Amino acid sequence: MKDLANVVAFALLSALLSGCGSLPGKPGPGPEVPRPDTVLDPATLYQENCAGCHGKTGVQGAAAAIGLPQYQAWVDEATQRQIVAKGLAGTSMPGFSRKSGGLLTDQQIDALLKGMRAIWLKGDVFAGQRPPAYTDATPGDSAAGASVYDASCSRCHGSVHEVGPSGSVLNASFLALISAQAIRTEVVLGRPDLHVPDWRHENPGHALSDKEVRDVVAFLRSHQSPTPGQPYPRKPSVSTDGATP
């Protein structure tokens, strides 16, 4: 009986020793959680760094619809890389590269951009038409832009003094939240994800010229204010004797 007990004890000890290599909680050979700077999956990088502003699929976000094939065809990869790496001054777009104070390595930014373009950049999305350039340093004529606005924008956004069915784009508070480049991007590309027409369909049958785009952007910017939302309307105060001071 004693010998049997010894055999059983030895068997249990052997089983325990043989299982030590797979005990719960024993660290594996590599890190339990990958180091953030080793993540190179474009989908993961996009969801963790971009989706919050640009939307889960690159559209219907508060920021530019970078998931549109039109956007990817319009903005070349080098320009996109500079935007992602360095951000855009004066806007809510931060720089994501480590040199700009961000968390992404150059390799991660390359992986992110190539992944986005592999998914969203498609064939001839402009049907052979050449859109106005992404940037234009030539000053626009806001007076001429007012006529462009009336012909191409006012039916949806209203006149200077009236709000249209799609809301005002001349409101100073709205314009304080959007940069000159963002205005140009919306005028040229529209927002197909939000049913906003592009430069070819702003005025049915008439695609806006480079000059018209430049001028209408200048017109919109002319309505920006250094103190948006002010002065606030105030009711006249009345003194105790009924007179207005």
Q: Is residue 116 predicted with pLDDT exceeding 80?
A: yes
Question: Which residue ranges form the domains of the chain, and what is each CATH number?
Answer: 36-120 (1.10.760.10), 142-221 (1.10.760.10)
Q: Is residue 244 predicted with pLDDT exceeding 60?
A: no
**Which pLDDT score is estimated for 161?**
86
**Which pLDDT score is estimated for 236?**
60
Mean pLDDT for the stretch of residues 164-173: 91
Which residues share a beta bridge with 203? 206
Residues 107 and 37: their CA atoms lie apart, in Å, by 9
3-state secondary structure of 216: helix
Closest Cα partner for 72 from 135, 113, 117? Answer: 117
**Residue 33 one-letter amino acid:** V
Per the CB < 8 A criterion, the answer to whether 129 and 200 are in contact is yes
For the chain, give the percent of residues with pLDDT over 90: 65
Where is average pLDDT lowest: 1-5, 25-29, 67-71, 92-96?
1-5
189-220 residues labelled b (16+ CB within 10 A) or e (exposed): bbbbeeebbbbbebbeeebbeebbbbbbbbbb
3-state secondary structure of 68: coil
Per the CB < 8 A criterion, the answer to whether 150 and 226 are in contact is no
pLDDT tens readout for residues 118-139: 999 998 999 889 999 999 999 9
**Which pLDDT score is estimated for 160?**
86
Residues 123 and 170: their CA atoms lie apart, in Å, by 35
Which residues share a beta bridge with 191? 196
Q: Is residue 186 predicted with pLDDT exceeding 80?
A: yes
| Other CB atoms within 10 Å distance of the CB of residue 56 | 13
Q: What's the chain's average pLDDT?
A: 87
pTM confidence score:
0.78
Sequence-distant (≥ 6) Cβ neighbours of residue 49 within 8 angstroms: 96, 104, 112
**Which pLDDT score is estimated for 158?**
92
pLDDT tens readout for residues 34-50: 888 999 999 999 999 99
**Which pLDDT score is estimated for 201?**
87
Mean pLDDT for the stretch of residues 196-218: 91
Mean pLDDT for the stretch of residues 202-227: 92
Q: Is residue 242 predicted with pLDDT exceeding 80?
A: no
Residues 69 and 39: their CA atoms lie apart, in Å, by 25
Q: Which two tokens stand for residue 68?
A: 């549109």
Residues 212 and 210: their CA atoms lie apart, in Å, by 6
Q: Is residue 149 predicted with pLDDT exceeding 90?
A: yes
